[in-house]
């Protein structure tokens, strides 16, 4: 919600927490462990519901561990992260979750400032300085609150839509199974086909004209990233999921100065998750006893359930 110069100053600092060396380190140990621990829970059954048992959890588990929070807090942490986004349609519970998260994170940040841990992600942010001064507490707390949903809700919805695309296009899924080099391409096409955040709200601070329409300060705009991702001037047959299409930039992670700061981490999580499912669940396919998954939603977009079988 910041513009320059504040936005560039703070983003540059936070970006240091997502440098390739750090992300690659997470991808070698924490992310695979989280993913495989979840698969352990259903691998022996031959069938599963992949959202409630898998995709819903691994991004939040990763963030929880990245922040070094107690394991006994994981369930309530996940619940409050969901609760704060309910504020648009359930103000009472949304505000309750927001207040509790703020109080919880304020205490943790203060502890990391008083007792910083070597190599600790949260300590790095909590003790960071800009122009010789520590980051304002409200900026630090807002960053961690945003991290929960920006890194949790988007990853689980985005990956769920990728799985839906592959499982409902079995011919292309077989190509990916046979050639794992297609995994990143399948993920990018799945995110383009159904991005987890279809639109973002914007309010101009000066009069602008777009497409012959004058927009004044204070006017409300809903900018559809999903529409950009299906622009027929950019993508042939834009409504089709097609992993063979020529690689082009998409807007699932946003665009411009506010492009998702964790996009490379999200991609790494998804590549690890898809490869793990293919490694451990032979002949992964839709369960014919349930309706096929369908991607839906406006504020956040993804399927409600993905019932599968495997051998």
Task: Determine contact, residues 29/53, Cβ cutoff 8 Å.
Answer: no
User: What is the extent of the structural domain holding 125?
Assistant: 6-196+246-309
Predicted local distance difference test score (pLDDT) of residue 242: 97
Q: Tell whether the model's pLDDT for residue 272 goes beyond 90.
A: yes
State yes or no: pLDDT of 150 exceeds 80: no
**Cα–Cα distance between 57 and 93 in angstroms, integer?**
22
pLDDT at 166 over 90: yes
Taking residues 13-29, what's their average pLDDT? Answer: 82
pLDDT tens for 186-241 read 999 999 999 999 998 888 889 999 889 999 999 998 999 999 999 999 999 999 99
CB-hemisphere CA count at 13 Å for 166? 29
Q: How much is the pLDDT for 304? A: 96
Distance CA 200, CA 241 (A): 23
Q: Is residue 54 part of a domain?
A: yes
Q: What is the pLDDT of residue 231?
A: 96
In a domain, 187, yes or no: yes
What is the predicted pLDDT for the residue at 229?
97
**pLDDT at res. 124:** 85
The pLDDT value given to residue 127:
87
**Overall number of domains in the chain:** 1
Confidence of residue 273 (pLDDT cuts 50, 70, 90): very high
Q: Evaluate whether residue 265 is within a structural domain.
A: yes
Determine, yes or no, domain membership for 207.
Answer: no
Tokens for 63? 């963030």
Reported as a pLDDT band with limits 50, 70 and 90, residue 87 is confident
Evaluate whether residue 219 is within a structural domain.
Answer: no
pLDDT at 284 (0 to 100): 97
Q: Taking residues 281-297, what's their average pLDDT?
A: 96
- Whether residue 41 is predicted with pLDDT greater than 80 in this model: the reply is yes
pLDDT value at residue 276: 97
CA nearest to 270, candidates 156, 119, 109: 156
Mean pLDDT of 165-189: 97
Instruction: Answer whether residue 119 shows pLDDT above 80.
Output: no
What is the CATH classification number for the domain harbouring 56? 1.10.630.10
Q: How would you classify the pairing of strands 208-210 and 129-130?
A: unpaired
Instruction: List the alpha helices (DSSP H) in the chain.
Output: 6-15, 20-28, 30-40, 50, 58-66, 74-84, 91-114, 121-126, 137-150, 153-167, 170-178, 183-193, 225-228, 263-280
Which pLDDT value is given to residue 29? 87
Among 14, 15, 24, which residue's Cα sits nearest to residue 269?
24
Structure confidence at residue 139 as a pLDDT band (50, 70, 90)? confident
In this structure, of 69-73, 86-90, 165-169, 303-307, the range with the lowest mean pLDDT score is: 86-90
Residue 75 lies in a domain: yes
pTM for this model (two decimals): 0.91
The answer to whether the Cα torsion of 91, 96, 99, 100 is positive or negative is negative
Instruction: With H, G, I as helix, E, B as strand and everything else as coil, classify residue 123.
Output: helix
Residue 206 lies in a domain: no
The mean pLDDT of 154-164, rounded to a whole number, is 95
15: in domain: yes
**What is the radius of gyration, based on Cα positions, of the chain?**
20
Q: Which of 14-18, 160-164, 203-207, 246-250 has the lowest mean pLDDT?
A: 14-18
Query: Average pLDDT of 109-124?
Result: 88
CA dist., res. 27 & res. 133, Å (int):
32
18/174: higher pLDDT: 174
| Angstrom distance (rounded) from CA 56 to CA 216 | 40
Q: How far apart are CA 74 and CA 236, in angstroms?
A: 44
């Amino acid at each position: 919600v910041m513009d320059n110069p504040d936005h560039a100053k703070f983003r540059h600092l936070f970006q240091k927490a997502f440098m390739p060396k750090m992300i690659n380190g997470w991808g070698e140990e924490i992310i695979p462990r989280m993913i495989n621990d979840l698969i352990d829970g259903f691998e022996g059954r031959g069938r599963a519901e992949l959202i409630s048992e898998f995709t819903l959890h691994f991004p939040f588990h990763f963030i929880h561990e990245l922040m070094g929070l107690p394991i006994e807090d994981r369930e309530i942490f996940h619940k409050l992260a969901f609760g704060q986004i309910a504020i648009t349609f359930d103000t009472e519970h949304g505000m309750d979750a927001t207040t509790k998260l703020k109080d919880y994170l304020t205490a943790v940040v203060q502890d990391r400032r008083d007792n910083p841990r070597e190599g600790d992600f949260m300590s790095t942010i909590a003790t960071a300085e800009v122009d010789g001064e520590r980051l304002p507490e409200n900026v630090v707390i807002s960053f961690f609150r945003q991290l929960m949903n920006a890194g949790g809700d988007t990853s689980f919805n985005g990956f769920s839509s990728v799985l839906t695309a592959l499982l409902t296009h079995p011919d292309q899924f077989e190509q990916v199974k046979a050639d794992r080099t297609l995994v990143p391409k399948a993920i990018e096409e799945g995110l383009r086909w159904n991005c987890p955040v279809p639109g973002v709200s914007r309010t101009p601070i000066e009069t602008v004209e777009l497409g012959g329409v004058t927009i004044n300060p204070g006017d409300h705009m809903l900018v559809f990233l999903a529409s950009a991702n299906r622009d027929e001037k950019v993508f042939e047959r834009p409504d089709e999921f097609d992993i063979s299409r020529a690689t082009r930039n998409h807007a699932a992670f946003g665009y411009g100065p506010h492009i998702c700061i964790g996009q490379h981490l999200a991609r790494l999580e998804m590549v690890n998750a898809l490869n793990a499912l293919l490694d451990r669940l032979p002949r992964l396919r839709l369960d014919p006893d349930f309706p096929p998954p369908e991607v839906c939603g406006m504020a956040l977009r993804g399927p409600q359930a993905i019932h599968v079988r495997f051998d």
